[in-house]
Each structure stands twice: as C-alpha cells, then as structure tokens.
Amino acid sequence: MEMPYRQPTFAVAAITKDEFQRACGSAIPECNPIIEESGWFCDDTDSFLGVLLRDKTDDDWGYVLLARDAHFRFRAIKTEVSLATRDQARVELQMRIAGLLAKPQRIFPQGDEEPKASE
C-alpha cells in the first residue's frame, strides 16, 4: 500500500519583541507616528524573521519578512502592505515563511554587502 504524499510541516511561531530585536538588532520606535509593530515571528530553524505592521494613517496592515544576507545579518527580503486585517497579514507572513522553508536557500545576498577585510 502506497502512502499518500504529505506536505512537510514547518513551525513558524510568535516570539517576543525582545527576541526579535536581539535577533535582528532593530525595531521601529514606539513613538513612530505612522507605523506600529504588532507581532513578531521566527521559524524553528532561526532562518527567517517576520514582523506585522499596522499603518496608523489608514489603519491597514502589512508585514516585513527578513532573512540572512551574505554576512549572516537579517535583512528585509519581502514586504507587503495594504492588507485588510492583522490576521490576513499574519497568515500571509507565516505562509510566505513556510514556503521559503520548503526550499533550500537560507542566505539572501542583498548585493550591497561590502567584502570583509580578509576577503
């Protein structure tokens, strides 16, 4: 009997703002008049980070997806804006991360990395 194909599962979970800041080294200041961070996420391999954002001017939602660059720093690789709800932004972010986890690429060069002094 042949077993049915099953999609691999990937854990993409909520993390604290402090955990997010420790991993990527930055955050939007809470006093920002336009953007408010509203949730932080990481996968179980620490390859990708995500942050949910609320646009205060028109009360819509978006996210930023971060991955490691050639120097292993987290940098934005995908942004999405103008989503109707926080839940829609969260689901899209988590699905995007799961899609990337199904592929082998974990380093996303930005093209602007300066070579290290030893290179």
pLDDT for the residue numbered 105: 96
Q: Which residues of 68-107 are buried (b: 16+ CB within 10 A; e: fewer)?
A: bbbeeebbebbebeebeebeebbebbbebbbebbeeeeee
Q: Which two tokens stand for residue 96?
A: 């995007």
Range with the poorest average pLDDT among 10-14, 20-24, 95-99, 107-111: 10-14
Mean pLDDT of 16-23: 95
Give me the pLDDT at residue 28, please: 86
- Strand-pairing partners, residue 43, are 12
Question: What are the pLDDT digits (tens) for 66-100?
Answer: 999 999 999 999 999 999 999 999 999 999 999 99
pLDDT at 29: 87
Q: What is the pTM of this model?
A: 0.85
DSSP 77-116: EEEEEEES-HHHHHHHHHHHHHHHHTSS--B---S-PPPP
